[in-house]
Amino acid sequence: MLYRKFAKPFFFKMDPEKAHHLVIDGLHTAARIPGMKAVMNGMYGVQAPNELRVKLLGLDFDHPVGLAAGLDKNAKAVEGFSRIGLSFMEVGTVTPKGQPGNELPRLFRLPPDEALVNRMGFNNDGAEAMAERLGKLPDRRIPIAVNIGKNKATPNEQAYEDYRACLRRLYRYGDFFVVNISSPNTPGLRSLQHGDELRMLLAEVKDEMAKQASAVREPVKPVLVKIAPDMNEEELEMTVDTIRQSGVDGIIATNTTLSREGLLHEHKREAGGLSGRPLSVRSTEVVRSIYRLTEGSLPIIGSGGIFSAEDAYDKIRAGASLVEIYTALIYKGPGVLRELTGGLLKLLQRDGFRHIQDAIGADHH
C-alpha cells in the first residue's frame, strides 16, 4: 500500500534510469543505518512455511521466488535486497572490464502494458569492483547468483575468455553462476546460443569452474545458462540438447523478448528487450518445452512476466523449480513477495499438493 500510494507515483515521475539508481543507492545506504535492516525485514520480510521450501542445486531456498539479474548489476544493494523477502538473487550481468553500456535514454516504462523496454547494454563496474563488494558482505542471508557476460568490444570467437575471466575473479563469491548469452542488447551475443559456439563456450566455462573449485578445494559450484524467449521450437530443441550434453546444472528461461505483440504504449517502438507482463505466456511456454525435452532432468528457473501467484504457479506446474521477478517489483513494490508466497501456498492447498516440490512439472504428469 505504502509503495503504490506514495513511492511509485514519486518514482514514476522520474526518468526510469534515475529512479533505478535512486532505489539501488537507497537500499545500499539503508543497509548501513543501524537498525534499518531489521525495519526492512519487519516491513517486507517473508516468513515462508515449510511447504514452500525448495532444495535445488545443493542449496536451500526459503521459498521459490528470487530476483532476476539486471536490477542490482553491481552487487551494491545485496544486503538491502536480502531483507525484503526474496529467497535468492542474481547480481549482474557483470563483464570482466567495466563498461558504460549504450547511450541514454535506454530504459522505458510502458505502464498500460505493465512492461519495461531496456537497451542498457551490460553497463556495469566490472568484475573487480563486484568482487570487492561481495567480499565485504558481513553475512549472506540468501543464495547469491553471479550473472556473467562478455564485454561489447570482445569478438564472439574470444567470448569464452571473458566468461573465464569473470569466473576467475568472482568464483569464490557466488553461490551459483549464470551464463548470459541471451541479452538482445549486446551485438552478436544471442548467436552464442546455438551449435558449436554454445558447445565450445560451455566447455570453457565448465573447465574454468573445475579449475576454480580445485583451487579453493571445494566441490564445483552450479552453473546455469540463461536463454532467450525468441527461438522457434527447432532452435530451442537444439539449444536445450547442447546445454544438456554440456553437463551444466540448469537453465533460466527466459531473458527479455524482442517481440512487441499486443502492446499499447508508444514506447513499444523503442529498440531493446521487453520485460514484464506481456512476456508471461511465452516464457512459461519455453519452461514447458524445456521440461518436456529434458523429461524434467534439468533444473529450470522460470523468469518473465510474473506479476501474480498464478503466474508463478503456472511456471512451476510447467516445470520450473524456482522463479524470478524483476518488472513486478518496479510496478508493485516489495510487498509483491508476500503476495506471491501467500498466493502460492493457497494454490498448492487448492490442488491438494503437500509441498511445492510436488507441483513442479505437474502439468506433464
For the annotated catalytic residues, the residue numbers are 183
The CA-atom distances, in angstroms, between 67 and each of 18, 71, 94, 341, 347 are: 20, 8, 16, 14, 21
CA 216 → CA 168, 171, 178, 209, 213, distances in Å? 11, 9, 20, 11, 5
Q: How many CB atoms lie within 10 A of CB 69?
A: 26
Which amino acid belongs to residue 269? R
Q: Show the beta-strand stretches assigned E in 111-214.
A: 115-118, 124-126, 144-148, 176-180
User: Could you give the 3-state DSSP secondary structure of residue 35?
Assistant: coil
On whether the CB atoms of residues 192 and 156 are closer than 8 A, the answer is: yes
d(CA 334, CA 331): 10
CA-CA distances (angstroms) from residue 151 to 93, 126, 169, 181, 188?
10, 9, 15, 12, 11
Cα 123 to Cα 55, 131, 175, distances in angstroms: 33, 16, 23
Neighbouring C-beta atoms of residue 156, cutoff 10 Å: 14
Count Cβ atoms below 10 Å from residue 213 Cβ, excluding itself: 14
Query: By C-alpha distance, which of 117, 130, 45, 54 is closest to 90?
Result: 130
Q: Are 116 and 276 in contact (CB under 8 A)?
A: yes
Residue 91 DSSP code: E
